[in-house]
Structure 1
């Protein structure tokens, strides 16, 4: 993000994109891991920053080499502030931002960011609520496809699932997968069915994971919701593309992005930030359960 005439002479959007090796962007963020941020969140960040006359760049880190390159780029004096989405614990980008003293805000809450401002939802509480609601439909053998356990969101959603089942929790009914993806959901559901063929309910830790799980259930001849009830998380476009539409948790992506942008702008103005900024994430109940 650029503000001064001197800095704008040093680096245009095109210069930034060429230096970083990425496309010219719409939002200032660094994402370490799976390259995903919702369009709604991206647009909200873009709007909040552009109103303050900041130049925007969109930086994605998929590999260790990307992380090293972005850490060097951040230290080059061209960036005024950073929004970091989906960082893992021990993320090198987090360390680089801290060492450089850059104004930053996190979307999510990795445990090693100290007192840095962050915007989040109650992943654990929301997972607990939707799992209990799934159980209230009469399901007694509920499993989970738990994705991205190296991120706070994934770990917290698993913790909420465990909370909801209490003494009935069986670790054999949890299948761990690396990413919030359709492919991982499909493979996770296949493995879960092999181990627990009598399963009658599934909490998938994202809507994309749930979409993949639905495919695997259909392959196995299991009807949804008659044989197996399934719920997701995010209330993303996947939730309505699925057949039947997914019961899920509404994650306020636009509000998260907007609040993170405002937190960075406040730091640039020298204002005190009251954090954490926690946003509501209600259950949205549809036909899948």
Structure 2
């Protein structure tokens, strides 16, 4: 492996002291223009690259950010990180990813370890133990922004989608398709509390479901609100609660799944009962993950504005690094309905009009 070119190498080749090389590369006024140009030409010839860590020691500015990604099979955060990476790069910053998976002590332990990492601030994505992470950030005076919709308490400047609005949009779409007996597939928070904070997004999406039914004059049938254990386990074959509803003879002509990952077992459950999607039951998800395109039929869903959220997270964090007090507020972004075949027939006819 080639040895990294150092200031000392440039110094020897240029026939000047290391301090002169450092000042010349740093535009110091006490180095003549001719000497600066000669030293820079030599540095380019040798392939010298400035050391980011050395520059940080001189300036106290690492030009680097960290992002902590959650320990979850559900990958909605990946496009957020991709957008944040591009936004950081456009401002001259590196973005380093730190996965929670396998880390003893979780996200809080990762933050504590950042004291030994060249980073100016951290973006925390979907972390249940926000109080522990908040304390760890305070201990090392590290600016932090959260992208999170699992916690009711706002402990950081926080970014999320408008979950209630998006769920209302999803269920209104089912109503527009002619559906009148609409089920809700959601995680069982009694079983999932340790993994999903206090479940703010589930409650918000449930409220949006109820809002849409109420606005259409449709009574909420609690028997159609189906809580599922282990909701983001990709190996789930079916939802027993949905099977029980269908076996009881209760009519279901639409399903709203609070996450795309929950739609796959729902589709398998319906297919096992001989029900066609969307002819018999129209199905809508939430998130617009890649999984929505891989399902059969492809899933109509609510898209979170991942790029906007990632971009804004970087913007907020850089403002904090520059000393601005941005407050601890929740910033919510509009969602969008993406229509696919799980609510339309191949001919484009709404499910309720067949």
Displacement of 1:174 in angstroms is 2.2
More divergent stretch after superposition (220-229 vs 43-52): 43-52
1:119 and 2:173 are equivalent in the alignment: no
Displacement of 1:132 in angstroms is 2.1
1:254 and 2:303 are equivalent in the alignment: no
The answer on whether the counterparts of 1:33 and 1:62 sit within 8 Å (CA) in structure 2 is yes
For 1:174, the equivalent position in structure 2 comes to 225
Structure 2: gaps spanning 5 or more residues: 1-50, 59-63, 190-195, 344-354
More divergent stretch after superposition (57-66 vs 248-257): 57-66
2:252 aligned to which of 199, 205, 229: 199
Q: How many residues align?
A: 270
1:54 aligned to which of 89, 93, 96: 93
1:282 and 2:333 are equivalent in the alignment: no
1:30 and 2:68 are equivalent in the alignment: yes
What secondary structure does 2:177 align onto? Answer: coil
Measured in 2, the distance between the counterparts of 1:138 and 1:286 equals 16
For 1:22, the equivalent position in structure 2 comes to none
The answer on whether the counterparts of 2:76 and 2:287 sit within 8 Å (CA) in structure 1 is no
Structure 1: gaps spanning 5 or more residues: 10-25
More divergent stretch after superposition (129-138 vs 47-56): 47-56
For 1:12, the equivalent position in structure 2 comes to none
The alignment's TM-score, normalised by the length of structure 2, stands at 0.66
1:143 and 2:183 are equivalent in the alignment: yes
Structure number with larger C-alpha Rg: 2
Displacement of 1:192 in angstroms is 1.3
Measured in 2, the distance between the counterparts of 1:86 and 1:217 equals 31
What secondary structure does 1:130 align onto? Answer: helix
C-alpha spacing 1:148/1:282, structure 2 compared with 1 (3 Å): farther
What secondary structure does 2:95 align onto? Answer: coil
Displacement of 1:194 in angstroms is 1.7
Matches within 5 A, 1:57-68: 57-62=96-101, 65-67=104-106
Displacement of 1:221 in angstroms is 1.5
C-alpha spacing 1:8/1:40, structure 2 compared with 1 (3 Å): farther
Displacement of 1:152 in angstroms is 2.6
Displacement of 1:118 in angstroms is 1.7
C-alpha spacing 1:267/1:128, structure 2 compared with 1 (3 Å): same
Q: CA RMSD in A?
A: 3.1
